[in-house]
Amino acid sequence: MTDDVFYAPITELSARLRKKEFSAAELAKAFGDRLAALGPRYNALALPLTEVAVKRAKAVDAEMKRDRLRGPLQGIPFGAKDLLAFAGHRTTWGAKPYEMQVLDETATVLNKLDGSGAVLVGKLSMIELAGGPSYRSAEASLFGPCKNPWDLTRWSGGSSSGSGAAVAAGLVPFALGSETSGSILSPSAYCGVTGLRPTYGLVSRHGAMALSWTLDKIGPLCRNAEDCGLVLQAISGGDPKDPGSAGKSFYYTPQYARKITELKAGVAGGGLAWAETAIGVLREAGLKTEAAKLPDFPYGPILTTILGSEAASIFEPLIASGKVDQLQDIRQIERLKAGLQIPAKDYLKAMRIRSLVRDKFRELFYDLDVLIAPTYPNIASRLADPLDAPAPGPQPGPNPLGALIQAGNLAGLPALSVPCGFEAGMPVAIQLVGPPFSENLLLSLGHEFQQRTDWHKRRPPVAAA
């Protein structure tokens, strides 16, 4: 097992498994051992599952030997954010009060991946309670601050911290993360991997820790856009156990993608040279672009009110018990408690404005197929710096699409973050955002970009012991 195996995309690993260059059990053992050995160096590993994975992989090998082929994920190892329940094993939610929690049911997405033949090799670290209403430090995790594989003095992003670091470092071919307000896009951008936030309701959240009933989404972090499509096809679909389920499935159909010359994008690079260059790559491919700006709403306060209210309601038993004080981050503790004091009228007003946000985005996408902007304008912060401290170096100018992550989450829109370069040796990325259920469009654009660039193939140095 060479490094080429550890950094290979799903499509390549699948082809090599079918050629019998190695078995699923050998692949699971190799990735499981690598995750167990290197994961702690990044504080990315929550729970190693190598023994369980190898046993499952042997069953996959037996299926493949009988020519019972399930699809491209069959025999592919992966990791899952530690808010996804795996029956009979610890699921800590990254938080001290739940350190010994063992649930008796497995999350729907993990069952779906098991049905596709994918092999879970480990649970991955996360910010405690997926970030709650707010947190101030990368230390806000039961597993310590998750280190960025490109620079161990910097953060990997939150709250799917371990998922981003593990994929970037070649510890797993893909990982599952979750997003409420940036937690798939953040580690994807900071770690230089490709991350997909699905349309709200497309992927079941049953068996996942709830942070916000109306904002939470589960999605993949992968090597490239094509892999994201393959994983999304496996995990999507209606689920009566998730009240927020849209009852829709997703089929990855790149062969039916619209030609890039037929598409029009609203763009805003925010004066960042690397973002303008990335947008220029798509223009050269034939994408029509025009300057765009977001509808005028106070996205931050709306999202904060909704998230704060719902998170406090969900974790009210934790707050009432006093165990909330065991959390690592003082701001997290304070905001959870304060969330119980948000008046119902403020929550309802925020939800009404949110419906107007959705309406305005519907109008915006009458004329545009996609919005493109920097995922984040800055590189990953240093581990020791407060997350609300001003970013070092020259500050980017205002961006008309600067609140796109908050707006996109409020409107339940899908987004794809793709690596597009480096600043000061650290990855940077652009995000592609479309109307609800436009994942195939975003993936085709992301794939087109990655056919013309190699940023997604870059590898960070392996962390020293």
If you search the block for the tokens 């034939």, which residue do you land on? 286
Tokens of 362: 């519907």
- The active-site residue, picked from 156, 178, 183, 245, is 183
- The active-site residue, picked from 14, 29, 81, 125, is 81
Tokens of 449: 């970009």
Catalytic residue check, 159: yes
Catalytic residue check, 156: no
Torsion of CA 392, 394, 396, 398, to 10 degrees: 100
- The active-site residue, picked from 134, 137, 156, 159, is 159
Contact status, residue 308 vs residue 342, Cβ threshold 8 Å:
yes
Beta partners for residue 421, in sequence order? 428
Catalytic residue check, 81: yes
Residues in the chain: 465
Tokens of 95: 């938080």
Widest CA span in the chain:
62
If you search the block for the tokens 């305005």, which residue do you land on? 360
Catalytic residues: 81, 159, 183
